[in-house]
Chain A
Amino acid sequence: MKKRNPVIKVKGFAVEQSVKLSEKTMLKTVQANNFLTKIADVVIFIIRLTRETFSRDFEFKEFLRQCFQIGYKSLALISVTGAIMGLVLTIQSRPVLVDFGAVSMLPGMVAISLIREMGPVITALICAGKIGSGMGAELGSMKVTEQIEAMEVSSTNPMRFLVVTRVLAATIMIPLLILYADAFGILGSWAGANIRGDVSFVLFFSQAFGHVHFMDLFPAVIKSFFFGAAIGLVGCYKGYNAGRGTESVGKAANSAVVLASLLVIIIDVVAVQITDMLQ
């Protein structure tokens, strides 16, 4: 058997390794390129959205329709969720507070928990599921069935008609839904407190709001506007930039929920840090 020259062997190995390395480099370059392109797309989308928001010919009728769709059509879900949130929180906390002899603190504790954190975050996550996926799927299917292009050839700016109205409606209606959920949460808490005890409606509410200060409510309201904007923006971006096939509609809806939920959590962390610094 002919023995292979060790120099040639090493050379072959080096060539093989350098080919592998260049393939990996190419792959990573393509991935980085795709990532940066996506970021550029998002930035361009936000710039266009901002420009169209402050342009003339605001689609007020469509904006009101979206407010109705996002706000009124979510009331039942938000009422049930809010009430259950307050009820469960009360039932879970009551035994611990009884042990410490602090059961009178129950309404205040529940109110502060709901207003500062649980109400905004849980309601925003539910809205990310309901509203974000709805926007992603609706705009995605409009893209697939050429409805967005049809709008464009009808001399209508689809960005202004579809995206601006939805993002603004979500930014305004989601904070209102959060306040509504807070109110139902406290109502649910009162119901929970009455399962084992006996407390009047007026006494419970006066105790609850007696512990709530301006700085409990204000940061929560401010962050809920950001939650609303993030949910609207992500839902519209994913739907508006959906691919061509019907499969992309499902993908747009799904990724809208995932990304909007993630953004809600991230915004919450940032908001908590800022609030903590200010207090």
Chain B
Amino acid sequence: MIATQTLRTTQAESLVDKPVIEISGLKKSFGQQEVLINISLKLMNGENLVVLGKSGSGKSVLIKCIVGLLHADGGTINVFEKDLNTLNSNEFNELRKKIGFLFQSGALYDSMTVKQNLEFPLHRIKTELTDKEVQEKIAEVLENVGLADALHKMPSQLSGGMRKRISLARTIVVDPMIMLYDEPTTGLDPVTSDEISSLINDVQKKYKTSSVIITHDIKCALNTANRIIMLRDGEVYMEGNIENFEKTTDPFIQSFFQ
């Protein structure tokens, strides 16, 4: 475990001031509909980048392209300085092990208990861990998301907020270096949304992750962002920190922040 943490720190240190994700000229269409027209962005090591935009602006498509769930029609995506277009399936799978993806719906496996849900990626990604280390790791992440007593529950027995927390636990259990959050607070009450937002910040601090957070929840964006990118009609409309966005007089941006 200590060896893994050391390797992780070394990898993280080697990436200081370097983008962990670099996208340029990304294009994606579904039939005649152009969803992403020309997206270019960088995610720097250790930062939380919030991607804001209206529903249907292509935010989820963007992160699904990063993790290879959708194939881009044009442009390049570099993750840890590796161009996704040039990787074979084995190399791509290796790269995916460093990326965590929190799905909008949680995507917990219905037929498995919470424990089995957490064991599933661990047994496949962290194959070097012993059974005892797997159980310790599960206990640790459940403690971190505040649901240590949910170990033997089925997903159907969990509330929406609990499902999101368990889903987050399943994502961080394999120590990803990049986290991709797809609408992490959608469908949650304001209190639970705030709890999830602080969990995102805790994950950033504790696991030294770099994150892309897709949202249209402005409160979540303000709580978690180091930098914000606004998408409109498949293109980057504005990029900056929270202050830049709050000070702008652009009516489209203002409509989000009011």
Instruction: Name A residues whose Cβ lies closer than 8 Å to a Cβ of B.
Output: 138, 141-142, 145-147, 149-156
Instruction: Name B residues whose Cβ lies closer than 8 Å to a Cβ of A.
Output: 64, 67-69, 93, 96-97, 99, 101, 103-105, 107-111, 120-121, 124-125, 174
B125 near A147 with CB under 8 A, answer no
Q: Which residues from A are CB-within-8-Å of B93?
A: 155
22 CB-based A-B contacts, threshold 8 Å: A142-B109, A145-B107, A145-B110, A146-B107, A147-B107, A147-B108, A147-B109, A149-B69, A150-B103, A150-B109, A152-B68, A152-B69, A153-B67, A153-B96, A153-B99, A154-B121, A155-B93, A155-B96, A155-B121, A155-B125, A156-B120, A156-B124
Closest 7 CB pairs of A and B: A150-B107, A154-B121, A146-B107, A153-B101, A146-B103, A155-B93, A147-B107
- Closest-by-CB residue of A relative to B120 is A154
14 other A-B residue contacts (CB within 8 Å) besides A138-B111, A155-B93, A155-B125: A141-B110, A145-B105, A146-B103, A147-B108, A147-B109, A147-B110, A149-B69, A149-B103, A150-B103, A150-B109, A152-B69, A153-B69, A154-B124, A156-B124
B97 touches which of A147, A149, A151, A155 (Cβ 8 Å)? A155
Q: How many A-B residue pairs have CB under 8 A?
A: 45
A154 near B99 with CB under 8 A, answer no
Chain A nearest CB: distance from B235 CB in Å? 25
Q: Which residues from A are CB-within-8-Å of B69?
A: 149, 152-153
Q: Which residues from A are CB-within-8-Å of B96?
A: 153, 155
Q: Which residues from A are CB-within-8-Å of B104?
A: 146
Q: Which residues from B are CB-within-8-Å of A142?
A: 109-110
Chain A nearest CB: distance from B201 CB in Å? 23
Q: Which residues from A are CB-within-8-Å of B111?
A: 138
- Closest-by-CB residue of B relative to A145 is B105
B125 near A154 with CB under 8 A, answer yes
Q: Which residues from A are CB-within-8-Å of B68?
A: 152
- Closest-by-CB residue of A relative to B167 is A150
A146 near B125 with CB under 8 A, answer no
- Closest-by-CB residue of A relative to B109 is A147
Report the separation of the CA atoms of residues A221 and B105 in the bound assembly, to the nearest whole angstrom.
Answer: 44
Report the separation of the CA atoms of residues A156 and B124 in the bound assembly, to the nearest whole angstrom.
Answer: 7
Chain B nearest CB: distance from A70 CB in Å? 14
Q: Which residues from B are CB-within-8-Å of A152?
A: 68-69
